Amino acid sequence: MSDTRANKGGLLRLGIGLIALIFVGALLKIGIGYLAGSQQFTPVGGGFTISTPAKLVENTQTVDLPNLGKVDFHVFRGSIDNTDYLVGYLDYPQEFVSHSDPKETLEQAASSMISRANGKLVSETTDFASGGPERDVVSSLQTNGVAFIQRDHFTLVGNRLFRVSLTAPEKNNVAYSAESDSFLHSLKVLLR
């Protein structure tokens, strides 16, 4: 009888091990699929390259900035599985940049973005150690009764403000994944 129990225990451990192996394999496939599906995107004249899982399409919007007037915001956007990926930039007038505090410029950019989206600030950090002023902002949004998390990474290089953004349904937990972190911090500014 003890041999039968040992065999059942061994089979149970084997079954659990196989289930765990299948689960890990599925997770690896998802991760590898993301990495394999990512592509470098370098728009002509954009001054940057970024690794993105979505095919990005260009659109230029004119935005009205307080005390500056109308400025073109170059947007490259794509979507996969209800997650929006965006990278964009705008050029501030050189005289504005030379007379303004970079930290305040990033704060104003983040505040303006949250206000335009009717969002609520969740968290924010500013970093000057990486060679240029950068700001990470997390906000929550409601659209048609669905809760979304939006994560933005702003970088100011000279007079050019870059914004990398990801918006995903809150229930999916995609916004806080390692893949999302990779996208948000994959921007590489090219020499202009």
Render each residue's pLDDT in the chain as its tens digit; 192 residues: 555 555 554 444 433 433 333 333 333 333 333 444 689 999 998 889 999 999 999 999 998 877 788 989 999 999 998 999 999 999 988 888 888 888 888 888 888 888 888 889 999 888 876 666 888 999 999 988 999 999 999 998 888 999 999 999 999 889 999 999 999 999 999 865
Q: Rounded to the nearest 5 degrees, what angle is found at the Cα of 105, between the Cα atoms of 187 and 101?
A: 115
For 10, the token pair is 């061994």
12 & 52 share domain: no
Q: 181-187, long-range: CB within 8 Å, 24+ apart, which pairs?
A: 182/38, 182/51, 183/38, 183/50, 183/51, 183/52, 183/53, 183/85, 184/136, 184/151, 184/153, 185/153, 186/50, 186/51, 186/52, 187/48, 187/49, 187/50, 187/87, 187/153, 187/155, 187/162
At 27 the pLDDT is 32
Note the pLDDT of residue 2: 54
* 7 lies in the same domain as 97: no
93 and 174 part of one domain: yes
Looking at residue 171, the DSSP 8-state letter turns out to be: G
Q: Are residues 114 and 176 in the same domain?
A: yes
Number of compact structural domains in the chain:
2
Question: Are 19 and 68 found together in one domain?
Answer: no
Q: How far is CA 91 from CA 14, 24, 31, 88, 95, in A?
A: 60, 45, 35, 11, 11
Same domain flag for 8 and 98: no
Domain range spanning residue 95? 40-189
pLDDT at 7: 52
Dihedral of CA atoms 181, 157, 63, 40 in degrees, nearest 10, equals: -50
- Asked if residue 65 and residue 1 are part of one domain, the reply reads no
**Are residues 14 and 30 both part of a single domain?**
yes
Same-domain pairing of 30 and 71: no
Under 8 Å between Cβ of 140 and 152: no
> What CATH code is carried by the domain that includes residue 120?
3.40.1000.10
Closest CA to 178 of 38, 82, 78, 49: 38
Same-domain check for residues 7 and 75: no
Residue pair 45/182 in contact by the 8 Å Cβ criterion: no
Q: Is the domain of 58 the same as that of 17?
A: no
27 and 66 co-located in one domain: no
Of residues 47, 44, 52, 38, the one with CA closest to residue 184:
52
Q: Which pLDDT belongs to residue 96?
A: 85
**Residue 149, H or E segment:** strand 146-157
pTM of the model: 0.76
What does the alpha-carbon distance between residue 32 and residue 126 come to, in Å, rounded to a whole number? Answer: 31
